[in-house]
A and B are shown apart, each in its own frame.
Chain A
Amino acid sequence: MKFSLVVHSSPISQQSAATAFRFAKTALEAGHEIFRVFYYGDGVLVANSQIAPPQDEINLPEMWQALAKQYDIDLVVCIAAAVKRGVLDDNEAKRYEKDAANLAAGFELSGLGQLAEAIALSDRVITFGA
């Protein structure tokens, strides 16, 4: 089965962001494919490389990075939602004349068209909402 996930929830304040990760990991280990994870709304905060959770809390950015590396998953962050929340890649940091880019490695900023494509090309689309 080819899945795509849509994550709306903040990795800091909502359990749903962690549920999405558990679902992805479980599905991959069972032999399914995750075509794309699309982060939208506060979900985009997961791609902020400056997130530094306390030692005894999970680090969702690192967990997604490791999973994406192991299984070659597309981690796409909605560019409009990300830029207004201060998650910027090099291009956007230059465009908006900000001090630095902070998009975590393994994540990519792109438009909502990537969500439309994921819907078109996946067998199941599962939303994890805040």
Chain B
Amino acid sequence: MSDKKSILIINQSAPYGSNKARESLDVALTCAIFEMPVSLLFIGDGVLQLLNGQQPEALQTKKHEAMLTALPMYDIDCLYVTSSDLKQHGLQSEDLAVPVKIVEQKQIASLIQQHDTVLTY
């Protein structure tokens, strides 16, 4: 593919309760395999995907946290979280399973502008 469009995936869904979070990462990994630059933004309940200490063994489902920690292997290094959404859930960067860039809410608009295509999950 000659056209390397940059993609921003906005995640608003918590993991496990629905498969949106999983679908989002599957799309992110696929686009990365096709060498398209992918950034992930976690807002609202989406920040809950990033929590460390996930133990989904009893649910017999894949550990979301493990999928997130695999992202750098696919050259997905740009993970953004808004400070206000972390605060809303009483979370701090120590609560997160992967390194993220913490941004102010007003920067979401710039992130959308900076990418060619925006997908939401």
Contacts and interface: CB of A to CB of B under 8 A. Distances in A.
Interface string A102-122: 000000000111011101110
Interface in B14-30: 19-20, 23, 26-27, 30
A41 interface: yes
A120 B23 contact: no
A129 interface: yes
B5 A119 contact: yes
Contacts of A111: 30
B58 to A, nearest CB: 21
B5 A113 contact: no
Interface string B73-90: 000000000000000000
Contact of B30 (A6, A115, A121, A125): A115
A120 B3 contact: yes
Contacts of B120: 127, 129
B68 interface: no
Interface of A: 6, 40-41, 80-81, 111-113, 115-117, 119-121, 125, 127, 129
Nearest to A122: B117
Contact of B23 (A41, A113, A119): A41
Given A6-B119, A116-B1, 17 more contacts: A41-B19, A41-B23, A111-B30, A112-B27, A112-B30, A113-B33, A115-B30, A115-B31, A116-B30, A116-B31, A116-B34, A117-B34, A120-B1, A120-B5, A120-B34, A120-B36, A121-B3
A81 to B, nearest CB: 8
A64 to B, nearest CB: 21
Contacts of B119: 6, 125, 127
B7 interface: yes
Contacts of A81: 23
B117 A119 contact: yes
A124 to B, nearest CB: 9
A113 B33 CA distance: 9
A113 B26 CA distance: 10
